[in-house]
Structure 1
Amino acid sequence: MSDSERRPPSLLAAFLIGVGCFAVAWGLYCERLPMKTALFVLFALCGLSVGMLAECWRWIRCCARYLRSVRFGEVEGLRREITALTLEREISLVAASGVDSAEAAQRITELLGLALDIRGAAVLVARRNSLLPLFVRWGRKSAQLERAATILPPTLLSAAINAYSRSAQTTVNIARKTAVIIPFGGEDGATGVLIVVVPKKQADTALYICRQVLRPVSVALRVPALYERAVFDALTSLFSRRHLEAELPRIVSEAKRTQHPLSIIMLDIDHFKRINDTYGHQTGDEVLAKVAKVLRSCLRSYDTAFRYGGEEFCVALPRTALPAAVKVAERIRKTVQKTEFLSADGRKIPVTVSLGVAQLAPSDANHASVIERADAALYEAKRAGRNRVVTASAQSAQEVHNG
């Protein structure tokens, strides 16, 4: 409402109308004013009065609209604060739920979606001097971790990196939508960037709510991060040897209880020491990470891969008998062999793997026993020329596939 709308109609005009009416009435009373002239003046004054009444009504309506807008703004502000406080509480509960970082990020975006008309969202965390997408939702697509990076628009990723490097929030206009990009993090939480895409009319609300929930978001992602450091291998992002010692006994116990088959694959990168000596340890680390990525791509969602130590890996295949496990091992072997590995100067590195496969047998007292048999089969594959899959029976190892 402008200042001119807030100003009441002129009192001077009302005064003049009153004086005019009085003058006409006095003239008629004293018989000094002709009747025609008096009627003309009265009609003119009536028209002016109607105009003044219309102006007064317009002013009253403007005042009412202004008061409603002020009241609506106060109510909306209060509602926004309550929403932010509720989200803070709900996001804080995510930290106590024991989920991993990717799942925590997905839950955070789902909670934000209850308060905002979200058209897209992403949570990225800082890892090794880069931003790792934990969860991305774009349109009807959503994904975690590696797949998340494939659906995040490059313009948003670039804007997120820029905002993170400057530690400054920013907005990006996309068609009729606005992407709100805010870095988060501190001493007691994870660091990264929160992205929320909303209709333009919701941009201010989204900015306010996102700013209010930054600390609980950071803490919610920090707790899983601490857990991940304890159970994940930093280089390959596979489960660690420590986690294997805690998790595999449970997997073996479950297989024995349900009488479902369980197979173990032990895998080793062939001539890995030669790769390190020839191309350097940095390239060796990249080979390890890439083999781990290939390994994950060949497994089902309920299979579990561990970095056993050095260049050796272990895979647990629940509900999988030996013949099916051999097919999985062979798929891993072929995929690694077909994958291109390059040195820092662009030279191709021939990388192959040897694998040993064993199925849990009634004679296996614990997880160590079946691992030992799979490991023996692995070293039989090494002795037989590498780049092959060998199976282990309860008594001995038998070669089943050659490279």
Structure 2
Amino acid sequence: MNPRKLPAPLLGGLVLAPVGALSLAAWLQWEATPVGRDLGALLVALAGGSGVAALAFALDALRVRRAFGHLRSGGGALGHEAPERQRLREQRQHETVVQLRRQVELLSAIRDLALIANDDVCFERILERALSVLGGLLDAREIAIYLQEGAELVPVAWRRGEKNRVRGKKPLKVEPREAAEALDARRTVVSQSKGAGLRAATLLVADGAVMGALEVRLARAPRWAASDPQELTRQLESLAKHIALAIRKPTLYDRAVVDGLTRLYTKRHFKEQAAILMAQRARLGTPLSLIILDIDHFKSVNDTHGHVAGDLVLAEVARRLRKGIRAYDLAFRYGGEEMIVLAPDTPKADATALAERLRRSLRRTKVDAGETSLRVTASFGVAEYDPERHGDLSEFLEEADQHLYHAKRSGRDRVVADLLPTEAASEAPTEAEGFAPDAGPTVDAARAAQAALPTPPEAFRTRRSA
């Protein structure tokens, strides 16, 4: 039955029943008889009951009418939403899920950056790992990290596509645009154009000091930021804060344990690491070797070509040393032109072979000192730690130093691990060849026999010439 078209008799009955009962009750009340009064009261009660029933029926009819209206609008079965309303509700749920998933991804990236800061102190590795984290999160065409050096922003890490690049000897060819604008404005900058896509940059700040800037370039605005343009700004600022903290840690660490010129570990750090490895050797029996090298004729470089050329030589020798050692070896600048390599889990024979590879690599090195090119050579001494013979680090180091002394006295540019140098005398250059201008190889025909060498004096380390 259609609630909008109820039968007329039914509607009339619903309306007239309470009205007629009230009229009859009034007439009976007018008849002043006991029976009339009782019947009048009964009719009044019946009229009230029929009125309440009529009202309930009307409300129920209205609800049925609304239900039929919902069915006509396409709502399907009773209790189901209309398609338009359901579509809007599902769209809101989808947006909520996307936002929650994005928050999880952001928190995961921040966690990874925090782990990088805690686990690593190598500046280059931190930058490369940070680029990988950002690349996976932002899906950006390019990401660049700049550090402020004076008034300029210098790129130190750059990601393009899937390839990461960290600044080394050659500078990175990327120009700061939005990063420079963000530095000038001291705020996050976001710009968008049809041809260039979306570009954004924010500052790297640690302990209130601006360290540099983070710049990203996207093909288009991300979907998760479509409903809220400020969401990209908030996420970039959050990521930049953790990147700045990760970068700041190796900076502070470097000041304490890394030599500024050579980028090798310091003498103090050498003593700490040597004590640890010597204790490990005594406890576990794993071999430990030490290589000490001294750049040949280094004093004459400073005297002839100046200290700037001397610094170039030190930096190049250290670079060759870092490149030539193994991943688990440790390289140190012990003082002046002396450098040391600690080789854990390495017997003397293997350490001697490593020293020989380093010697050959240095012998091929040429350092540009302006008007001339300097050839670099170095002498090496090798020793293996023996807890029964070496009471402490000084005795261990003294044995390697004696071997270095013999290498110097026997012609330089050689490795000595025992009484005899490992390299044949015919391969060693003359003493004048060490830092001579590049004029082709020369050969010293006279080499002193190792057995005829005197024992090095006890105070050799403090007065050995270059």
Contact 1:185/1:191, CA 8 A, preserved across alignment = yes
Distance 1:124 1:94 in 2: 21
Give 2:318's aligned residue: 292
- Seen in structure 2, the aligned counterparts of structure 1 residues 114 and 335 have a Cα distance that, compared at 3 Å, is closer
d(CA) in 1 for partners of 2:268, 2:360: 29
Give the drift of 1:160: 7.2
The question of 1:360 aligning with 2:380 is answered no
Higher CA-based Rg: 2
* 1:304 pairs with one of 318, 330, 341: 330
* Matching of residue 99 in structure 1 with residue 125 in structure 2: no
- State the distance in 2 between where 1:176 and 1:128 align: 29
* Equivalent position of 2:279 in the other structure: 253
The amino acid across from 2:353 in the alignment is K
Change (3 A) 1:223 1:360: same
1:336 equivalent to 2:380? Answer: no
Matched with 1:346 is 371
Deviation per CA, 1:164-205, whole angstroms, max 9, x where unpaired? 9965668799x9876655452466457234344543333976
Alpha-carbon distance in structure 1 between the residues aligned to 2:148 and 2:326: 28
CA contact (8 A) 2:153 2:176 kept: no
Does the CA contact (< 8 Å) of 1:164 and 1:183 recur in 2?
A: no
Which residue of structure 2 lines up, in the alignment, with residue 381 of structure 1? 407
Instruction: Measure how far apart 1:263 and its partner are.
Output: 1.4
CA-CA distance at 1:103 after TM superposition:
4.0
TM-superposed CA distance for 1:316, in Å, is: 0.9
DSSP 3-state at the match of 2:341 = strand
For 2:302, give the aligned amino acid.
Answer: N
Change in Cα spacing, 1:90 to 1:181, as seen in structure 2 (3 Å) is: same
Alpha-carbon distance change, 134 to 323 in structure 1, aligned in 2, over 3 angstroms = farther
Query: Pairwise CA RMSD of aligned residues?
Result: 4.2
Which residue in 2 is equivalent to 1:116?
138
Aligned position for 2:176: 159
Instruction: Confirm or deny: 8 A CA contact 2:294 2:378 kept in the other structure.
Output: yes
Structure 2 distance, partners of 1:293, 1:161, is 34
Q: 1:400 aligns with which of 388, 397, 422?
A: 422
Cα separation, partners in 2 of 1:238 and 1:131, compared to 1, 3 Å:
farther
Offset from partner CA, 1:23-65 (integer Å, 9 cap, x none)? xxxxxxxxxxxxxxxxxxxxxxxxxxxxxxxxxxxxxxxx99x
- Preserved CA contact (<8 Å) 1:196 1:206: no
In the aligned structure 2, how far is the partner of 1:161 from the partner of 1:254?
51
Q: Is the CA contact (8 Å cut-off) linking 1:125 and 1:193 kept in structure 2?
A: yes
Which whole-Å deviations, capped at 9, do the CAs of 1:118-168 have from their partners, x for residues lacking one?
A: 455454545699877765554444466649x68x6x2x2x33798399656
Q: Counterparts of 1:317 and 1:323 in 2: how far apart (Å)?
A: 12
In the alignment, is residue 192 of structure 1 matched against residue 216 of structure 2? no
Partner of 2:62: none
Conservation of the 8 A alpha-carbon contact between 1:381 and 1:388: yes
Specify whether residues 167 and 75 from structure 1 end up closer, same or farther in structure 2 by C-alpha distance, changes over 3 A only.
farther
Following superposition of structure 1 onto structure 2, how do residues 215-234 of structure 1 map, counting pairs within 5 Å?
215-234=241-260
Q: Taking CA–CA contacts closer than 8 Å with sequence separation of 6 or more, which of the two structures ends up with the larger relative contact order?
A: 1
Cα drift, residue 275 of structure 1: 0.7
Structure 1 residues without counterparts, runs of 5 or longer: 1-62
Alignment of structure 1 residues 60-139 onto 2, 5 Å: 82=103, 86=107, 90=111, 93-94=114-115, 97-100=118-121, 101-113=123-135, 115-118=137-140, 121-126=143-148, 136-139=158-161
In the TM superposition, what whole-angstrom CA distance separates every residue of 1:93-128 from its partner, at most 9, and x where no partner exists? Answer: 348625213444344334434532245545454569
Preserved contact between residue 189 and residue 219 of structure 1 (Cα < 8 Å): no
What SS does structure 2 have at the residue aligned with 1:200? coil
Q: Distance between the aligned counterparts of 1:225 and 1:131, measured in 2?
A: 17
- Which residue does the alignment assign to 1:268? 294
1:20 equivalent in structure 2: none
Same amino acid, percent of matched pairs: 32
The SS at the match of 2:417 is strand
Find out whether 1:369 has 2:400 as its counterpart.
no
Alignment of 1:306-321 (within 5 A): 306-321=332-347
Q: What TM-score do the two structures reach when normalised by structure 2?
A: 0.59
Matches within 5 A, 1:134-153: 136-142=158-164, 146=168
CA contact (8 A) 1:236 1:288 kept: yes
Which of 114-123 and 268-277 deviates more?
114-123
- The 8 Å contact of residues 366 and 373 in structure 2, kept in 1 or not, is answered as yes
- Letter of the structure 1 residue corresponding to residue 335 of structure 2: G
TM-score between the two structures when normalised by the length of structure 1: 0.67
Alpha-carbon spacing, 1:229–1:161, altered in 2? closer, same or farther (3 Å): farther
Deviates most, 319-328 or 162-171? 162-171
- The AA in structure 2 aligned to 1:200 is R
> Residue 135 of structure 1 contacts residue 145 of structure 1 at CA under 8 Å; is this kept in 2?
yes
